[in-house]
């Protein structure tokens, strides 16, 4: 994490009574746990894995026959590796390859999103709703060492 991210996380923690107490008492483990709690804030995945894409495609599998061979094969090829769906161009490509097959498209769109933990939410930009997911500024879990760094941030 960058120094500015550490400071932003400290400010977020100080705005919460429980987290502020963890900072004041030097309780790094509890502070890390607080930051790692899941929220309802929706973000774009930085990696739509082939496994996630495959599970989404299975939901709309009946609509694969309606796609042109080129679009179907391109969709399979595109989903054969990790995709950074926080990139609007990647999302547009997936939508284009699904054509008018809304079950398939909706299933893949749902797979592109996830909920953020408190730390991720604090560093994300955007609305954070299912209709308008936020973009992650940092991704991961806060360790006890990270919590100590956050506590020491200016």
> Which of 56, 44, 34, 32 is closest to 139 using CA atoms?
44
Residues 6+ apart with CB under 8 A from 95: 105, 109
The residues, ordered by sequence, that sit 6+ positions from 66 with a Cβ below 8 Å of its Cβ are 99, 101
Q: At what angle do helices 17-25 and 28-36 cross, to 10 degrees?
A: 150
Pairwise CA distance, residues 79 & 149, whole Å: 38
pLDDT tens, residue by residue, 104-154: 999 999 999 999 999 999 999 999 999 999 999 999 999 999 999 999 999
DSSP, collapsed to helix, strand or coil, labels residue 145 as helix
pTM of the model: 0.90
Average pLDDT, integer, range 47-56: 98
Give me the pLDDT at residue 140, please. Answer: 97
What pLDDT, in 10s, does the model give residues 8-42? 999 999 999 999 999 999 999 999 999 999 999 99
pLDDT at residue number 32 = 98
pLDDT tens for 83-118 read 999 999 999 999 999 999 999 999 999 999 999 999
């Amino acid at each position: 994490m960058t120094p500015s991210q550490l400071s932003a996380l400290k400010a977020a923690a100080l705005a919460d009574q429980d987290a502020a107490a963890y900072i004041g008492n030097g309780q790094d483990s509890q502070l890390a746990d607080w930051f790692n709690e899941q929220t309802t804030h929706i973000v774009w995945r930085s990696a739509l894995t082939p496994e996630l894409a495959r599970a989404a495609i299975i939901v709309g599998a009946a609509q694969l026959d309606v796609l042109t061979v080129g679009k179907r094969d391109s969709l399979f090829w595109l989903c054969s590796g990790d995709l950074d769906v926080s990139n609007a161009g990647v999302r547009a490509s997936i939508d284009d390859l699904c054509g008018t097959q809304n079950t398939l498209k909706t299933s893949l769109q749902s797979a592109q999103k996830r909920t953020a933990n408190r730390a991720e939410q604090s560093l994300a930009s955007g609305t954070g709703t299912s209709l308008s997911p936020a973009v992650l500024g940092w991704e991961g879990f806060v360790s006890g060492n990270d919590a100590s760094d956050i506590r020491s941030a200016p």
